[in-house]
Structure 1
Amino acid sequence: MLTFIGKRVVSGIVLIWSVCTLVFVLLYFNSGNVARTILGQTASQEAVDLKSAQLGLDRPLTVQYVDWLSHALHGDLGTSWFTNQPVTSTIATRLPVTLSIIIGATIVSAIIAVVLGVWAAIRRGWADRVVQVLSVLGFAVPGFLIAIGLIAVFALNFGWFAPTGFVAFTDSPSGWLRTVTLPIIALSIGGIAAISGQIRGSMLDAMRQDYVRTLRSRGLSSTQVTFVHVLRNAAGPALAVLALQFIGMLGGVVLIEQIFAIPGVGQMTVLSTIQGDIPVVMGLVAVTAILVVVVNLAIDLVQGWVTPRARLA
């Protein structure tokens, strides 16, 4: 198990370094004249050159990269060029908002998908067709249309939830629930569609195996066979899809936060990208890469526990 974890950690560190290096180089060659953007088009060339020197943009690429990497390894992601706020603290205040939505959507997706997938595999017939239709609709309907529809029906029409904004859980648990419910539902629809289809297919494949007939011949009930043995064997591929959905939600939450006016990392990503605020963009890239590696490592560990043969793959 330690070798299994060690390999995953090493590959994760290499992935984080590769992504950050590639993004840094791409930003360097596509950032344009950031000093001019900060000072405005009417600023003199002398002022622009002075600002570039203050930001360190007049240094060679390798020097800038080594400087950023050395500070990042110590937890210092730099300072925003536009707000002069530390990137680390800015992300730290916004990341919990985004994670509360993504984690909530992941949990909702997993629970509902397992219920639908198992139901479709066991009942077959019309239940199977209903789940397959819902899966297709979940893939086909864009997330922003689902979000707008949820706002129109449940926020503006019925008034059950807040249409926009965010309330911290520590300030008001009920207010937090009113502000995150619709974003979580909108973000989880695609995940439910993907995971339920995978659960259904894996369950059907597992139920055709010889060990299922052996277990039933030994007198085990259908419930024991289904939920103790078949579901465990079908969980491996579903966990892989769940990890992919979590990573996909990191991108999907950008649009969701814009629609619901939620002050999270997604909204910050859009603004910093438009402005060309490279320290903030690099900080967001590094944090996102770390989240992806941590989630994949967690899923690998769960898969190794559920299906020990995964540790040998």
Structure 2
Amino acid sequence: MMSFILKRLANGLAVLFAVSALTFFLLYFSSGSIARNIVGDQASPEQVAAKEVELGLDQPIVIRYFSWLGSALTGDLGNSWFSSQPVTQALSTRVPVTMAMVFTAMILIALLAALVGVIAAVRRGWVDRIVQIAAVVGDAIPGFVIGILLVTFFAIQLGLFPATSTISPGANANAWLISLTLPVIALVLNGVTGGAQQIRSAVIKQLERDYVRTLRSRGIGEKEILFRHVLRSAAPAGLTVLSLQLIGMLGGVVIIESIFALPGLGPLAVLSTAQGDLPVVMGVVIYTVAVVIVVNLIVDLLNGWLNPKVRVS
């Protein structure tokens, strides 16, 4: 098991290195005159050149990347080029907002998708048809449309929730709860039907396997077959789908956070990318990729625990 974990960690670190290098070089070639953007259009060429020297923009791109990488390995992600705020400090107030929203939504999606998917697979009647129709409708409606509808109805018309976030440094639990409720509902409604459809398919596939017929022929009850054997065998497929949904959710959370004015990673990433604020963009990328790597590692460990063949392979 330890070699299994070490191998996954090595793969994750290789991915993190590749993504950081690719992001760094792409930002360098697409950001234009960053120094001119920082000092303003009225600055003299001497001032622009001085700012480039201050930021290290006069050095070759490879040297700049490895200089950044060396600092990042010690936990120093640098300072914002525009606000001079340490990147770790800027992220520390935004990471909890995004992660609280995403992981709360994923927990609810996992529970609801498992419940609905199993019922649809076992009953194979009207519940099954509703799940399939809802999955098609859910895939057709983008998450931001659901978010806009929720804001319009529950926040603007009924006034049950604030239209914009009330989360701020030092905010109490009640502010977090009322600010994250609608965004979490939007993410859950957008993801639960697709997850339920995949779990339904995985459970049906297991129910049609020969070992299920063998267990039934031995007189073992349907509940024991379902909860002790079928769900354990179907769980890896469900976990893989949920992990992919989490990765997609991290990429699409930008729009949801913008709709609800949440102070998360999404708005920070959009603003810093538009400005060409490379240290902040790199910090957001590193944190996001690290979360994806950790989630994939957890899913691999759970799959290995559920299915010994995964550990062997």
1:281-292 residue pairs with structure 2 within 5 A? 281-292=281-292
TM (norm. structure 2) is 0.96
1:15-30 residue pairs with structure 2 within 5 A? 15-30=15-30
User: Is 2:167–2:175's contact at 8 Å kept on the other side of the alignment?
Assistant: yes
Q: CA RMSD in A?
A: 1.5
C-alpha separation in 2, matches of 1:214 and 1:182: 47
Q: CA deviation at 1:275?
A: 0.8
Residues paired across the two proteins, number: 313
1:216-231 residue pairs with structure 2 within 5 A? 216-231=216-231
C-alpha separation in 1, matches of 2:282 and 2:171: 31
- Farther-moved stretch of structure 1 (188-197 vs 68-77): 188-197
User: Is 1:35–1:48's contact at 8 Å kept on the other side of the alignment?
Assistant: yes
| 1:81 matched to 2:49 | no
- Farther-moved stretch of structure 1 (163-172 vs 216-225): 163-172
Q: Residue 76 and residue 155 in structure 1: after superposition, are their counterparts in 2 closer, same or farther (change >3 A)?
A: same
Q: Residue 170 and residue 90 in structure 1: after superposition, are their counterparts in 2 closer, same or farther (change >3 A)?
A: closer
Which residue number in structure 1 is paired with residue 267 of structure 2?
Answer: 267
User: Is 2:167–2:263's contact at 8 Å kept on the other side of the alignment?
Assistant: no
Q: CA deviation at 1:170?
A: 7.0
1:111-126 residue pairs with structure 2 within 5 A? 111-126=111-126
Which residue number in structure 1 is paired with residue 234 of structure 2?
Answer: 234
Structure 2: gaps of 5 or more residues: none
1:1-313 residue pairs with structure 2 within 5 A? 1-167=1-167, 171-313=171-313
User: Is 1:166–1:263's contact at 8 Å kept on the other side of the alignment?
Assistant: no
User: Is 1:105–1:188's contact at 8 Å kept on the other side of the alignment?
Assistant: yes
C-alpha separation in 2, matches of 1:267 and 1:177: 20
User: Is 2:146–2:190's contact at 8 Å kept on the other side of the alignment?
Assistant: no
Deviation sequence 1:182-214 (CA, Å, 0-9, x none): 101112233213211110101110001122122
Q: CA deviation at 1:161?
A: 2.2
Q: CA deviation at 1:8?
A: 0.4
C-alpha separation in 2, matches of 1:282 and 1:53: 20
C-alpha separation in 1, matches of 2:173 and 2:49: 50
C-alpha separation in 1, matches of 2:28 and 2:270: 18
Q: CA deviation at 1:168?
A: 6.5
